[in-house]
A and B are shown apart, each in its own frame.
Chain A
Amino acid sequence: MSSWPTETKYISHSTPRIDAPAKLTGKARYSSDIQADGWLYGMILRSKWPSAKILSVNLEKARQIPGIKAAVTVKDFPQTIRYYGEEIAAVAGATKAACLDALRVIEIKAEVRHEFVVNEDEARKDNSAQVWDGTTNASAPRVHEQGSVDTAFPECAAVIEGFYTTPVQLHHAMETSGSTTSWTDEGLTSWASTQGISSVRDGLAGALQLDHSKVRVITEYMGGGFGAKFGAGVEGVLAAKLSKEAKAPVRLMLTRFDQALAVGNRPSSFQKIKMGATADGTLHAFEAENYGTAGIGAGGDAGGGGGGADIPMPYLYKVPNTRVKQSMVAVNAGSARAFRAPGNPPASFGMESAMDDLAVKLGMDPLEFRLKNDPNPIRQREYKMGAEKFDWKQKYQKPGSSPGVLKTGIGCAAAAWPAGGASKSTQGEARINPDGGIEFRLGVQDIGTGTRTVIAVVAAEMLGLKPEQITVRVGDTNFPPGPGSGGSTTCASISPTVYDVCTQALRQLQTQSGLADARGENWFAACKKLGVNPLVVHGQWQPGLSDSHACGVQFAEVEVDTETGLVTVKKILGVHDCGLIINKITLESQINGGIIMGMGYALYEERVMDDLSGVVLNPNFETYKLPGIADVPEIEVVLINMPERGVIGIGEPSTVPTAGAIANAVANAIGARVSSLPITPAKILAALGKVPPFVNA
């Protein structure tokens, strides 16, 4: 049975990111940097109407713009448009300017519909415009019951009711979606900005009716995904079609504007929660109703894929009597897609806010209340560890009791990432040269998480070499298949695979060379015995080296200016179980990143739709606000090392509890609950009763 070494030189230590020099010098070529010979610029024309029937599209004038080499439409006509920004046509040309000019002269004949709805509450009304003809916007509610909620509530010593809401959140990776795509006699090559080269290959092959063997996807470097970049996307297929027509490579990257409209989002949530506990602080009854929107991909038609609006409730707490009713509501907006821990950040926010509210009503310390009710022993330990490090007992005060205008408060929240685990079909190979050089090839992606470095670290450890001696190549469908980079499964998929490749390599080297142990100082001698031929070794994922299920708790300290409403996060402490830590320094970066993304969710991010025009009002970074360096607090991290569990994942658990912890800290500071994200100065002032009521003159 495979097992990780207990004494390690590299595993669980810190090796600098091996692709850092390429990224730091500008040598790294991302999908949007590829300059294939004779490449053309591609651009998409999108619908400016939220609801319409496109009858015909005339591309003639566009084709005549100097420099334009191809123009295609997306679908057959009539085409039903269901959201502002839906793709209609695309062009490819010698310059960006030519494409811009061409888009402006594409002629569209359309029946514009004035019935559309972009607001969840409006969409739920009986007289609302229908997003999908013939079906209600709201799906039939799914009800899940346990025990007897109706008799349980009267038995409670304290009951709270709240309405906790979260907005639609946008992935907004720094590199937009898209690809540089090119045809040769052998087929199609797509340098895609993707988290899943295999899913892109599959999508392109299907859409273009090509054999899989004729499609190659390459992702050497990509600028972030967070869940939005699986599959070829409309833009991937368009790039291929344009490239075919133009007989030249086409680079089609979405603009930042496009990103806010059409390539996925995290669904919103509207959680009505009623929760009660017995006098000793045991959760006893939980009733909740939640609705949210996944854009057009919800409601009567389940289309949209990968990002339904329902969330796990009552999240990670076990309550004996529950009734949970959830439905999704369709609106005329872009479809949701998986976004870092789908369903969990809103679930954690709602549940943890309710927990604090109930703790306050019971007169209990919210941390004690959690220790009493959280069933998981690892999280119990994490809370206790974190509380001590955070000085919880000393810092905790009754809500709103901090003196002065600048009020401080603390809060906590938990995460459970039930999925994770590994992709068992992961494979890898290594080419070992007689001069001792070794190159690993895995068809996995490094989306910024440090995947390449993990491979180098594991290989170095297993082979007794240094990480800088390991050449790592990833991101090519010509390589043995790897997992899509998602679900916090990548490290747990590739580490055992590299382990196996190394095991096979050593076995074969030892056999061929006659040396009993080919590792470390014997490596070069063993390799020399290969003669002139390289040794190519194949391996695959092995059980027993990885696990699933990751937990974590986070603590937040905030300062709220009760006159201006400005929220400043002073400190966040994350306590996360990490299984076997493969590479400490890149792991910490992942946790930092998750926390900062969670902070954005808590305080700044919100996709705003305009009811009257149906457009996305903030398709930019000006008014869709991301945390900046001036907003980021001191972040402290405790990594719970559990090597006996093997490799688990961290990408998602690290972003789940942050908003809940911050929201609780705010409530603790000001003595009032802001139950709607993002927590803006406007909402703080309203919660403090300082905002004059609006009088409709």
Chain B
Amino acid sequence: MKEPEPENFGAFSRRKFFKSLGTVAATAATAQVQSVAAELEKANAEQVVGPGAVAVTLKVNGEKLKLALEPRVTLLDALRNYSSLTGAKEGCDRATCGACTVLLGDAPVYACQKLAIESQGVEITTVEGLAKNKKLTKVQQAFLDKDALMCGYCTPGFLMSVTALLKINPRPNAADVKRACAGNICRCGTHPRILQAALKAAGVETASKTEVVNYV
């Protein structure tokens, strides 16, 4: 669906490269070769690309996604619209709701406020990458057991936030869970059960305060 414009593909700043080469011309031969290699590497690393589509490789859930994207495409846009990974949701596109939360390495971040092009070279985990072989993780199972979801639209984001929390803090308390999830919005109002689910996944059982009374 999205093809790169060939003439813009991998646009390279030649001016920069030659300029830096010129400054090392006066040094000794071997040093010059090394410097040229280093300058070349640096120049390649600093190459200017875009504004048209560029090759971008994203490592998502252990697999490589090879895409052609304009630099302005966000990580969220790349996942949802250039791959089949629609698990991360768009709730606001302004880093305020958390529905797009993914893990960059171990860190939960808003995919909507990260460019895809700057998200290369790091392991990205989305909700699709949690369950292995159809077996729900402890966190997912806890959400299910505690009914910590309703319409489910905010759920992937909360799952990522809670999963990330438990990775660095396997025994969180309620305050820790609230801090970890403060950046996720839920309109259906599942917060009390998300708290219970997170604690359950950490091995702490809490009960809903519900009583059924027969009207007689």
Q: Do chains A and B touch in the complex (CB under 8 A)?
A: yes
Binary contact readout B173-216 vs A (1 if CB under 8 angstroms, 0 otherwise): 00001110110111111111111000000000000111111110
Q: Give the docked Cα–Cα distance between A585 and B193 (Å).
A: 11
- Which of B13-21, B35-43, B148-156 forms part of the interface with chain A? B148-156
Q: Is A378 an interface residue, CB under 8 A from the partner?
A: yes
Q: Which residues of A lie under 8 Å from residue B153 when comparing CB positions?
A: 30, 173-175, 223-224
* A23 x B212 contact (CB < 8 A): no
Q: Which residues of A lie under 8 Å from residue B94 when comparing CB positions?
A: 256, 620-622
* A641 x B212 contact (CB < 8 A): yes
Known: A97-B70, A620-B96. A629 touches B187 (CB 8 A): no
* A25 x B186 contact (CB < 8 A): no
Q: Which residues of A lie under 8 Å from residue B99 when comparing CB positions?
A: 174
Q: Is A29 an interface residue, CB under 8 A from the partner?
A: yes
Known: A25-B127, A224-B153. A581 touches B212 (CB 8 A): yes
* A35 x B212 contact (CB < 8 A): no
Chain A residue at minimal CB-CB distance from B80: A33
Q: Which residues of A lie under 8 Å from residue B189 when comparing CB positions?
A: 589, 592-597, 627, 632
Q: Is B130 an interface residue, CB under 8 A from the partner?
A: yes
Q: Which residues of B lie under 8 Å from residue A35 when comparing CB positions?
A: 84, 86
Least CB distance from B21 to A in Å reads 35
* A25 x B136 contact (CB < 8 A): yes
Q: Give the docked Cα–Cα distance between A626 and B99 (Å).
A: 14
Known: A25-B140, A175-B89. A637 touches B188 (CB 8 A): no
* B190 x A378 contact (CB < 8 A): no
* B210 x A17 contact (CB < 8 A): no
Chain B residue at minimal CB-CB distance from A26: B87
* B92 x A639 contact (CB < 8 A): no
Residue in A253, A449, A632 whose Cβ sees the most chain B Cβ within 10 Å: A632
Chain B residue at minimal CB-CB distance from A34: B86
* A95 x B154 contact (CB < 8 A): no
Residue in B155, B187, B191, B212 whose Cβ sees the most chain A Cβ within 10 Å: B187
Which residues between 61 and 112 of chain A lie within 8 Å of chain B, taking CB atoms? 94-97
Q: Which residues of B lie under 8 Å from residue A38 when comparing CB positions?
A: 1
Q: Which of B72, B150, B156, B209 contacts A634 (CB 8 A)?
A: B209
Q: Is B126 an interface residue, CB under 8 A from the partner?
A: yes
* B144 x A17 contact (CB < 8 A): yes
Q: Give the docked Cα–Cα distance between A622 and B93 (Å).
A: 12
Q: Give the docked Cα–Cα distance between A20 and B190 (Å).
A: 13
Q: Which residues of B lie under 8 Å from residue A609 when comparing CB positions?
A: none
Chain A residue at minimal CB-CB distance from B146: A585
Least CB distance from B88 to A in Å reads 8
Which residues between 586 and 607 of chain A lie within 8 Å of chain B, taking CB atoms? 586, 588-590, 592-597
Q: Which residues of A lie under 8 Å from residue B73 when comparing CB positions?
A: 95-97
Q: Which of B86, B144, B155, B185 contacts A626 (CB 8 A)?
A: B185
Least CB distance from A433 to B in Å reads 24
Q: Is B147 an interface residue, CB under 8 A from the partner?
A: yes
Least CB distance from A245 to B in Å reads 18
Binary contact readout A384-426 vs B (1 if CB under 8 angstroms, 0 otherwise): 0100010000000000000000000000000000000000000
* A224 x B151 contact (CB < 8 A): yes
Q: Is B85 an interface residue, CB under 8 A from the partner?
A: yes
Q: Is A55 an interface residue, CB under 8 A from the partner?
A: no
Which residues between 568 and 590 of chain A lie within 8 Å of chain B, taking CB atoms? 577, 581, 584-586, 588-590
Q: Is A541 an interface residue, CB under 8 A from the partner?
A: no
Known: A20-B149, A223-B153, A628-B191. A26 touches B86 (CB 8 A): yes
Q: Give the docked Cα–Cα distance between A29 and B154 (Å).
A: 13
Q: Give the docked Cα–Cα distance between A24 and B159 (Å).
A: 8
Which residues between 59 and 79 of chain B lie within 8 Å of chain A, taking CB atoms? 70, 72-73, 77
Residue in A24, A594, A641 whose Cβ sees the most chain B Cβ within 10 Å: A24
The interface on chain B, measured as residues whose beta carbon lies within 8 A of the other chain's beta carbons, has a size of: 67
Q: Give the docked Cα–Cα distance between A15 and B20 (Å).
A: 68
* A641 x B215 contact (CB < 8 A): yes
Q: Give the docked Cα–Cα distance between A632 and B187 (Å).
A: 12
Which residues between 4 and 46 of chain A lie within 8 Å of chain B, taking CB atoms? 12, 16-17, 19-21, 23-30, 32-33, 35, 38-39, 41
* B2 x A226 contact (CB < 8 A): no
Q: Is A450 an interface residue, CB under 8 A from the partner?
A: yes
Binary contact readout B134-166 vs A (1 if CB under 8 angstroms, 0 otherwise): 001000100111010111111110010000000
Q: Is A318 an interface residue, CB under 8 A from the partner?
A: no
Q: Is B128 an interface residue, CB under 8 A from the partner?
A: yes
Q: Is B58 an interface residue, CB under 8 A from the partner?
A: no
Q: Is B131 an interface residue, CB under 8 A from the partner?
A: yes
Q: Is A161 an interface residue, CB under 8 A from the partner?
A: no
Least CB distance from A306 to B in Å reads 19
Chain B residue at minimal CB-CB distance from A594: B189
Chain B residue at minimal CB-CB distance from A66: B5
* B154 x A588 contact (CB < 8 A): no
* B187 x A17 contact (CB < 8 A): no
Binary contact readout A361-390 vs B (1 if CB under 8 angstroms, 0 otherwise): 000000000000000001001000100010
Q: Is B81 an interface residue, CB under 8 A from the partner?
A: yes
Known: A175-B151, A223-B89, A621-B94. A629 touches B184 (CB 8 A): yes
* B92 x A621 contact (CB < 8 A): yes
Q: Is A221 an interface residue, CB under 8 A from the partner?
A: yes
Least CB distance from A341 to B in Å reads 14
* A628 x B77 contact (CB < 8 A): no
Q: Is B97 an interface residue, CB under 8 A from the partner?
A: yes
* B209 x A636 contact (CB < 8 A): yes
Chain A residue at minimal CB-CB distance from B83: A35
Chain A residue at minimal CB-CB distance from B183: A628
Q: Which residues of A lie under 8 Å from residue B185 when comparing CB positions?
A: 174, 621, 626, 628
Chain A residue at minimal CB-CB distance from B159: A24
Q: Is A222 an interface residue, CB under 8 A from the partner?
A: yes
Which residues between 603 and 627 of chain A lie within 8 Å of chain B, taking CB atoms? 620-622, 626-627
* A596 x B191 contact (CB < 8 A): yes
* B190 x A172 contact (CB < 8 A): no
* A174 x B151 contact (CB < 8 A): yes
Q: Which residues of B lie under 8 Å from residue A302 when comparing CB positions?
A: none
Q: Give the docked Cα–Cα distance between A97 and B189 (Å).
A: 33
The contact sample of 6 A-B pairs, CB cut-off 8 A, is A24-B136, A174-B99, A221-B151, A629-B182, A630-B179, A640-B214
Chain A positions near chain B (C-beta within 8 angstroms): 12, 16-17, 19-21, 23-30, 32-33, 35, 38-39, 41, 94-97, 172-176, 221-224, 226, 253, 255-256, 378, 381, 385, 389, 447-450, 577, 581, 584-586, 588-590, 592-597, 620-622, 626-630, 632, 634-642
In addition to A96-B81, A621-B185, 13 A-B residue pairs with Cβ atoms within 8 Å of each other are: A20-B144, A24-B127, A25-B127, A94-B1, A174-B185, A389-B211, A590-B150, A592-B189, A628-B185, A634-B192, A636-B211, A638-B211, A639-B212
Nearest 6 Cβ contacts at the A-B interface = A26-B87, A448-B151, A223-B153, A593-B189, A23-B152, A596-B189
